Amino acid sequence: MTERAKRYLAIMAGMLLALGSYAQSNTMYYMTGQPQAYYLNPASQPYCAFFLNIPLTPVFLEGSNNSIGFTDLVWNDPNSDAVIHPLHPNASLDDFFAQMVDKNTVGLSFDATPLSFGFRAKDMYFTFDAGLHTRASISYPTDLLDFVIRGNENGRLYDFSGLGFHMSSYMEYALGISRNFYDMFTVGVRPKLLVGLAHVASDDNHIQLYTSNREWRMNSEIELQMALAGMNIPTKENGTFDLSGKFTFDSTASIGQILTANKGFGIDLGTHLKPTESLTLSFSAVDIGFIKWQKYTQSTTLTGNFNFEGVVYHPGDTTNIMQSFTDSLKSEFKTTGSEAAFTTTLPTKLFLGGSYALLPSVDAGILARMDLPYMNDPLKTNIMLHANWHPSRALAFAFNYSPFKNSGSTLGVGVFTRILFLSSYLYFDYFPMEYNSYKFGNLPGIPFPANGVKQFNIRFGTSIMIGNNQMKKLKKDKPMYYSDENE
Amino acid sequence: MKQPHLLFLLLAVSLLACKKETIQMDNLSTDVKVPHQIAIPLLQTSMVFEEVAGRQADSIIEYRGDSILLFFPADFSLRDTMEIPKTGQNLRFEHFYLYHGIQNMFPIGLDIDLVLRNDDLNVNLDTFSLKGKDADVDVPFIEPAPVGSNNLVDESAVHEKEGYLALDSTFFNQYYGDATHLIIVFTLQQTADTLRILDHYNMDIRLSIDASGYYIREETADSTQTTTP
């Protein structure tokens, strides 16, 4: 492996380790001629007559971290030659906790599309995708970290409700239909049939702890939801999840029964409006939908209120103090459970943007994005400036910049290339404007984003594109007067 | 196919152009200073003494027809001296409050004094009386039960007394500073010189603490806080 290749690998590893961002690349939004742009706006039409994504691409990987990043954990101390951390005598734990949010979330998403193709039919464009989508996250409240590191304050109420996790995996079969009206108005719709594969979540918890020297008082309600297609989940007689039980495969069910056990429906909607030749206004709503988990389900809720006013000890009493304390604790918590169906929603995103053609091959504009609350993730908004340079239909670059993002300015970078009928693309979002290099000895440094940038995602794929001059041909063939009689 | 190469070149160049600083992880300091606090109820206990040995008459212990009189010498005290370790102390207190609620039926109380001493200079630096508080009035740590004119404990007058013992920065600055020894003095308090003994006694105790401090570990060569051999 050459030094340059090692360098590339180190850079890639660093960026992947600095995972961040939320659901889908933004950079490709205005790459409207490319096949992958319809993932963000179903009104977008590829310029080719037909495309087929090479199986298992496109691939999308993203991570999320809405709180402290690696640069908040180790840094060069300006007062010494040492590299220090938040627990160092020269550091301030107050400052460290001030950087955190009430509910800190770390997430990972992975999308792979085994089958994806599309074709043009006059002013309409049809696409079909069959893809696997997996989302996972864990969240922890700052109060919990504070409690563990700094201990408990006298007379303080700690809120641990942000403690949770979720993992959800489903197949998506999406049929996209887009229609162009007079090159001025394009609408698209992309209904989706969803097949739930697995869902394990405990993200709607309410846990509070009041501590003082007189009493510790805990109120909690913790819920665990599970659905694993084709797997029998071990349960106790009272219907609650049996932690010591074994998961068994349901050998009595056919593959068809398993795959249709947990169905859902979703839809993407979008439009592009061109009031002038140079201006494009766009709106889209992506991943509106739900999955109803009906079979192989389990829901268990643990509720309890507990008061601790000191260990009760009677001299001469032979009862084990810790045993009686544990028994007392257990008696205060009740579990209930059922195999009832439950519904989960998709991570819905809204986009609103405008793009202006500054030059025939250069577009620039603004794009606003809103991620609606989903599982552990709160509502998120982002406003980006974007610019696309497409010197030819075989080569295009896309950039976007988030100057207003709280976690630091970031750059999105994308490139699309095509040689004959084979095209490939690669997009990064939240590309850091600055980075620190972390070195061990004389080994090459590992880059991590500086200035609190904690987000990153990557989308790449390879497609076969046929009929790349189809639009040009259609335009050439278009008569001066157009009516239905001409057909 | 040169295009992917072009992209990687673009990324590499942009990364190199935006490098902020290099962090040499070999210089990572292992020094630690973590503030820590705790406030927790500790213990609820009830000590009951029933059927105290001897013949009983109207709940009073008698011996050969007479009640037994108990005599205490005045200011009976015990003391213990301990050396204050000056190295290897990772946990350092800034304040330590011991809260208590005590219902004491015994006619004997307890006072505790802490004496900080520098043995090298042969001088007692300071004395801290661990008084309890009752409505902002200093009381013994454990207050003796009131005794009536008949030299018997007045059970109806025995109530729970709350209080707290406060060791704050004044104490700990000297404890971790010039003091080399800590002398603990226990002094018994009583409400009468002679007492008649009942056949039953009880004492209810609630204890809780509120303390703060920090955990420190420094590996600097000249530090007295060094914990690494």
A311 vs B contacts (CB less than 8 Å): 42-44
Q: Calculate the alpha carbon distances from A179 to A123, A174, A182, A188, A249 in Å.
A: 6, 16, 10, 6, 45
Q: Which residue has the higher pLDDT, B71 or A201?
A: A201
Nearest CA distance, B21 vs chain A (angstrom)? 5
What region, left, alpha or beta, does residue A23 occupy, with left being phi > 0 and alpha being psi -120 to 50 degrees? left
- Tally of residues, chain B: 229
**Mean pLDDT over all residues of chain B?**
78
Among the partner residues B26, B33, B99, nearest to A440 by beta-carbon distance: B26
Q: What is the pLDDT of residues A376-418, one digit of tens each?
A: 677 888 888 889 988 888 889 888 887 765 544 567 888 899 9
Q: Calculate the alpha carbon distances from B109 to A473, B50, B104, B168 in Å.
A: 105, 20, 8, 24
Q: Report the alpha-carbon distance of residue A375 to residue A378 in Å, rounded.
A: 8
Pairwise CB contact (< 8 Å): A88 & B31: yes
Average pLDDT over every residue of A438-465 = 82
Residue B90 has pLDDT above 60, yes or no: yes
User: Please, what sign has the CA dihedral across residues A44, A49, A50, A51?
Assistant: negative
Pairwise CB contact (< 8 Å): A83 & B24: yes
Pairwise CB contact (< 8 Å): A445 & B216: no
| pLDDT score of A271 | 97
- Tally of residues, chain A: 487
Q: Which residue of A has its CA nearest to B218?
A: A89
Average pLDDT over every residue of A334-363 = 92
Report whether A232 contacts A250 (CB < 8 A): yes
Nearest CA distance, B215 vs chain A (angstrom)? 10
Pairwise CB contact (< 8 Å): B39 & A428: no
Residue A484 has pLDDT above 90, yes or no: no
How many CB pairs lie under 8 A apart between chains A and B?
160
Q: Which residue of B has its CA nearest to A7?
A: B12
Domain ranges of chain B: 31-217
A151 vs B contacts (CB less than 8 Å): 36-38, 212
Confidence of residue B51 (pLDDT cuts 50, 70, 90): low
Q: Which of A1-15, B37-51, B208-222 is least confident?
A: A1-15
Q: Which of B40, B205, B209 to mutate to test the interface with A (most CBs of A within 10 A)?
A: B40
Nearest CA distance, A77 vs chain B (angstrom)? 10
Residue A67 has pLDDT above 90, yes or no: no
B23 vs A contacts (CB less than 8 Å): 74-76, 83, 436-439
| pLDDT score of A314 | 79
Report whether A347 contacts A371 (CB < 8 A): yes
Neighbouring-strand partners of residue A132 = A112, A171
Q: Which residues contact B148 (CB under 8 A, 6 or more apart)?
A: B154
| pLDDT score of B65 | 58
3-state SS of A257-273 is: HHHCCCEEEEEEEEEEE
Q: Calculate the alpha carbon distances from A261 to A293, A359, B195 in Å.
A: 7, 52, 83
Establish if B122 touches chain A: CB-CB under 8 angstroms.
Answer: no
Nearest CA distance, B171 vs chain A (angstrom)? 21
Residue B60 has pLDDT above 90, yes or no: no
Q: What single string gives the DSSP state of each residue in A341-397?
A: -EEEE---EEEEEEEEEEETTEEEEEEEEEEPPBTTB--EEEEEEEEEEEEETTEEE
Q: Which of A111-115, B65-69, B89-93 is least confident?
A: B65-69
Compute how many other C-beta atoms are within 10 angstroms of the C-beta atom of residue A26. 27
Q: Report the alpha-carbon distance of residue A62 to residue A60 in Å, rounded.
A: 7
Report whether A341 contacts A292 (CB < 8 A): yes
Burial class (CB in 10 A: 0-12, 13-18, 19+), A38: buried
Nearest CA distance, A394 vs chain B (angstrom)? 11
Q: Report the alpha-carbon distance of residue B152 to residue A345 in Å, rounded.
A: 75
Residue B47 has pLDDT above 70, yes or no: yes
Query: pTM, whole model, 2 decimals?
Result: 0.78
Among the partner residues B37, B46, B216, nearest to A151 by beta-carbon distance: B37
| pLDDT score of A134 | 94
Q: Which of B31, B204, B217 to mutate to test the interface with A (most CBs of A within 10 A)?
A: B31
Establish if B19 touches chain A: CB-CB under 8 angstroms.
Answer: yes
| pLDDT score of B131 | 74
Pairwise CB contact (< 8 Å): B45 & A312: yes
Among the partner residues B29, B40, B97, nearest to A83 by beta-carbon distance: B29
Q: Report the alpha-carbon distance of residue A169 to residue A135 in Å, rounded.
A: 6
User: Please, what sign has the CA dihedral across residues A423, A429, A433, A438?
Assistant: negative
Domain ranges of chain A: 3-66+101-486
| pLDDT score of B70 | 66
Confidence of residue B222 (pLDDT cuts 50, 70, 90): very low
| pLDDT score of A474 | 54
Give the residue among A234, A247, A231, A246 at the shortest CA–CA distance from A198: A231
**Mean pLDDT over all residues of chain A?**
85
Residue A472 has pLDDT above 70, yes or no: no
| pLDDT score of A83 | 93
The ipTM value here is 0.77
Report whether B105 contacts B195 (CB < 8 A): no
Q: Report the alpha-carbon distance of residue A456 to residue B15 in Å, rounded.
A: 14
Establish if B22 touches chain A: CB-CB under 8 angstroms.
Answer: yes
User: Please, what sign has the CA dihedral across residues A22, A27, A32, A33?
Assistant: negative
Q: Report the alpha-carbon distance of residue A46 to residue A40 in Å, rounded.
A: 13
Burial class (CB in 10 A: 0-12, 13-18, 19+), A297: buried
Give the residue among A84, A439, A79, A449 at the shortest CA–CA distance from B25: A439
**What 8-state DSSP symbol labels residue B226?**
B
| pLDDT score of A127 | 96
Tell me what percent of the residues of chain A surpass a pLDDT of 70: 88
Establish if B29 touches chain A: CB-CB under 8 angstroms.
Answer: yes
Confidence of residue B87 (pLDDT cuts 50, 70, 90): confident
Q: Which residues contact A357 (CB under 8 A, 6 or more apart)?
A: A277, A278, A279, A363
Pairwise CB contact (< 8 Å): A440 & B209: no
Nearest CA distance, A187 vs chain B (angstrom)? 33
Nearest CA distance, A248 vs chain B (angstrom)? 45
The three-point CA angle B6-B15-A357 to 5° equals: 60
Neighbouring-strand partners of residue A410 = A402, A432
Q: Which residue has the higher pLDDT, B206 or A449?
A: B206
Pairwise CB contact (< 8 Å): B15 & A450: no
Burial class (CB in 10 A: 0-12, 13-18, 19+), A381: exposed
Pairwise CB contact (< 8 Å): A213 & B209: yes
| Helix (H) / strand (E) containing A326 | helix A321-332
Report whether A142 contacts A148 (CB < 8 A): no
Q: Which residue of B has its CA nearest to A415?
A: B7
A83 vs B contacts (CB less than 8 Å): 23-25, 27-29
Q: Which residue of A has its CA nearest to B6?
A: A415
B14 vs A contacts (CB less than 8 Å): 411, 413, 431
**What 8-state DSSP symbol labels residue B75?**
T
| pLDDT score of A22 | 36
| pLDDT score of A1 | 46
Report whether B107 contacts B147 (CB < 8 A): yes
3-state SS of A390-409 is: EEECCEEEEEEEECCCCCCC
Q: Report the alpha-carbon distance of residue A400 to residue A433 in Å, rounded.
A: 12
Confidence of residue B13 (pLDDT cuts 50, 70, 90): low
Q: Cite the DSSP H helix spans in A91-237.
A: 93-98, 142-150
Pairwise CB contact (< 8 Å): A150 & B44: no
In which residue are the tokens 């015990």 written? B78
| pLDDT score of A255 | 86
A87 vs B contacts (CB less than 8 Å): 32-34
Nearest CA distance, A405 vs chain B (angstrom)? 18
Q: Which residue of B has its CA nearest to A434?
A: B18
B12 vs A contacts (CB less than 8 Å): 7-8, 11
Pairwise CB contact (< 8 Å): B39 & A436: no
Nearest CA distance, B158 vs chain A (angstrom)? 20
| Helix (H) / strand (E) containing B85 | none
Q: What is the pLDDT of residues B154-180, one digit of tens each?
A: 888 888 888 788 888 889 989 988 999
User: Please, what sign has the CA dihedral across residues A302, A308, A314, A315?
Assistant: positive
Q: Report the alpha-carbon distance of residue A336 to residue A327 in Å, rounded.
A: 19
B38 vs A contacts (CB less than 8 Å): 151-152
**What 8-state DSSP symbol labels residue A51?**
E
| pLDDT score of A17 | 33
Q: Which of A27, A154, A314, A428 to mutate to test the interface with B (most CBs of B within 10 A)?
A: A154
Average pLDDT over every residue of A234-257 = 87
Nearest CA distance, B65 vs chain A (angstrom)? 32
Q: What is the pLDDT of residues A122-154, one digit of tens each?
A: 899 999 999 999 999 999 999 999 999 999 999
| pLDDT score of A454 | 67
Q: What is the pLDDT of residues A293-348, one digit of tens each?
A: 999 999 999 999 999 998 888 777 777 777 877 887 888 889 899 999 999 999 89
Nearest CA distance, B72 vs chain A (angstrom)? 26
The three-point CA angle B39-B45-B51 to 5° equals: 165
| pLDDT score of A9 | 43
